[in-house]
Structure 1
Amino acid sequence: MKYRLGELFCGPGGLAYGAMTADIGNGDKIVHAWANDFDQDTVDTYIHNICPDAPETVYCADVRKFDLTQLGPIDALAFGFPCNDFSVVGEQKGFDGEYGPLYTYGVKALKIYKPKWFLAENVGGIKSANEGKAFKKILHDMKAAGYTIVPNLYKFEEYGVPQARHRVIIVGIRNDLADKYQYKVPSTEPYKDVDNTSRNAIENPPIPANAPNNEMPRQTKRVKERLSYIKPGQNAFTADIPEELQLHVKGAKISQIYRRLDPNKPAYTVTGSGGGGTHMYHWSEPRALTNRERARLQTFPDDYVFMGSKESVRKQIGMAVPSRGARIIFEAILKTFAGIDYPSQEAHL
């Protein structure tokens, strides 16, 4: 069985790569049908890695001005709808923000194409936006589109991903199929002995000298000096730094600023936003991580090429879903429809 996958807000292809590499040993596959994103570099990255022979199937357009009815039939839909207004780090405007209502286009696509199943992804903070009303409304609208849903907060580091990344993922199965096919959250138990430390992810195996997107960042003498006082796991505010190198930031002290990785733990969350001081820092070398190192923390293979400027690539990597984590969930969906049992656990939010 081949499941044709459509994607809205596709990003650089973390979900898609997880879907395309999902393999449950019986020949069932998820194949690309079409995708949409509004950023040209991101679309170029997606085409290059996911569907180089079918560039016309990826549409660069603002979904708010895009004709959703022009796309081909699909068996599955994925949409990691923009999280800016649901993030704990952001202002959490929820439905009142510019990006809040964008999930409705995913719901609209469900109504148009009626796929057998869908996967929707967002940040953990979505649960508390608008005093929790936003999340309830989103779940209500997905159910009203004709789907039986299983929302869950996935802590990807518990699935062997070398990064503490917590995301709400909602899997929905069309109501007429839901009696026979009941998705269950895959268990974290098979991954408890996986080495998910940032050191293992970045050093094993060594990144090839010719790997794409691996340009070394340039650090000023002052930044290098500041980093010399910051130990692994510390940031600019928890380290013992001389007065002349301290940051004098008004308001909240963000824990990610000049924060060095702890090599013996999963990395903290890779993000795409923010300026200097938020680029993630190596535990022993006085520098920010390269984009390829960040991509490894997001479990992209070294031959996955990101298109665009260094800054554009940094943003793309930060907004992606870790492909290995996505693959685990897609394999659970494939097993659900193939009637193959798998270790599972209770959903929790």
Structure 2
Amino acid sequence: MIYRLGELFCGPGGIGWGATNADIGDANYRIVHQWANDYDESTCETYRHNICPNAPETVYHGDIRTFDMSQLAPIDALAFGFPCNDYSVVGEQKGMNGTFGPLYSYGVKALKLFEPMWFLAENVGGLRSANEGKALNKILDELQGAGYTITPHLYKFEDYGIPQARHRLIIVGIRNNINVEFKVPSPAPYAEIDNTCRNAIENPPIPTDAFNNELTKQSSQVVERLKHIKPGQNAFTADLPKELQLNIKGARISQIYKRLDPTKPSYTVTGSGGGGTHIYHWSEPRALTNRERARLQTFPDTYKFIGTKENVRKQIGMAVPCRGAKIIFESILKCFAGIPYEYIEANINE
């Protein structure tokens, strides 16, 4: 079975790459791109360039709230990483009361309209506590109500060989009238992978002329501050001279001017934030380039992001790690193909 995939909130293609590169050793079971939609024009250009260069017209740039989904071609599978802004622990956590919180409902609408055989939905772990847990319950109820047996699980991608501590709630659903049961893939087969950020960034070395590899301009004060911050430390845990300390009242976000620890996976790559949030090299006094950030998200070096430097930073930070998505899609394909694999019990808790 070849599954035609539709994607809402497609981003730059982390999920799309994982889906179209999923390989279980049986060409009869694979996933092909059918269409995708996103509200950001540069993001759509990135997706077109990398995922479907021969069918750019199948990526629709538009706000899902006014987009006519009835014009879209039939699909066998749906993926939607609905916007996480209102559920992120870094944001204001407005949950269902925010601008982005209710956007999951368009995924439900698509499920009812297209009746795909299966779907994958993704959001941040903070969704579990939004609106005192009511948001997640409402979303799960509506996904089930659309006619699907669902398996929500909190994936810790660093356990799957990804060089980044990234925890995401991913819900896989299979239509109720299909006699197939999804099982969460076990991280055990990936235990021996070197998922340190040093290995991801240095092996193989990134050519200086690689796509999206421009350096960020650092002020002399930032350079001096970074020189006093050891690997794994941030601006608040380092022993900084008084003139280099940050005068911030209230929340002290641990990622501010935080240097990577080269012996561990990276901390979570984010898509936005001001000074001090760009992820900092463990030995050089600088922020990572977008290409280095893309390596932490397991995008191949051939993946070209289109847009301004800050827009590309946002695209990379909002994406699902390519290889992480691939692992989950391969597990879905194995379920349908009847191929056994190692699995664990689904769990949405830490």
Relative to the length of structure 1, the TM-score reads 0.99
**Structure 1 CA distance, aligned partners of 2:185 and 2:206?**
31
2:38 paired residue number: 37
1:198 paired residue number: 197
2:80 paired residue number: 79
1:116 paired residue number: 117
Root mean square deviation, CA, Å: 0.5
CA deviation digits over 1:288-314, x for unaligned, max 9?
000000000000000100000100000
Gapped runs of 5+ residues in structure 2? none
Q: Which amino acid aligns with 2:265?
A: P
Summarize the alignment of residues 227-246 of structure 1 with structure 2, pairs less than 5 Å apart.
Answer: 227-246=226-245
SS at match of 1:128: helix
2:187 paired residue number: 188
2:14 paired residue number: 14
Q: Which amino acid aligns with 2:197?
A: S
**Structure 1 CA distance, aligned partners of 2:259 and 2:209?**
25
1:2 paired residue number: 2
1:218 paired residue number: 217
CA deviation digits over 1:39-66, x for unaligned, max 9?
0000000000000111110100000000
**Structure 1 CA distance, aligned partners of 2:222 and 2:106?**
43
**Structure 2 CA distance, aligned partners of 1:228 and 1:88?**
29
Q: Which amino acid aligns with 2:154?
A: L
1:322 paired residue number: 321
**Structure 2 CA distance, aligned partners of 1:56 and 1:6?**
13
SS at match of 2:26: coil
1:333 paired residue number: 332
**Structure 2 CA distance, aligned partners of 1:190 and 1:85?**
34
Task: State the Cα distance separating 1:90 from its structure 2 match.
Answer: 1.2
Task: State the Cα distance separating 1:209 from its structure 2 match.
Answer: 2.9
Q: Which amino acid aligns with 2:209?
A: N
SS at match of 1:321: coil
Q: Does 1:106 align with 2:84?
A: no
1:209 paired residue number: 208
Gapped runs of 5+ residues in structure 1? none
**Structure 2 CA distance, aligned partners of 1:306 and 1:44?**
8
Q: Which amino acid aligns with 2:155?
A: Y
Instruction: List structure 1 runs of 4+ shifted beyond 4 angstroms.
Output: none
Relative to the length of structure 2, the TM-score reads 0.99
Q: Which amino acid aligns with 2:105?
A: T
2:279 paired residue number: 280
Which segment is superposed worse, 35-44 or 85-94? Answer: 85-94
**Structure 1 CA distance, aligned partners of 2:183 and 2:287?**
39
Task: State the Cα distance separating 1:137 from its structure 2 match.
Answer: 0.3
Q: Does 1:24 align with 2:24?
A: yes
**Structure 1 CA distance, aligned partners of 2:283 and 2:90?**
27
Task: State the Cα distance separating 1:273 from its structure 2 match.
Answer: 1.0
Aligned residues: 347
Q: Percent of aligned positions with the same letter in both sequences?
A: 72
Task: State the Cα distance separating 1:210 from its structure 2 match.
Answer: 2.5
SS at match of 1:63: coil
SS at match of 2:286: coil
Q: Which amino acid aligns with 2:134?
A: K
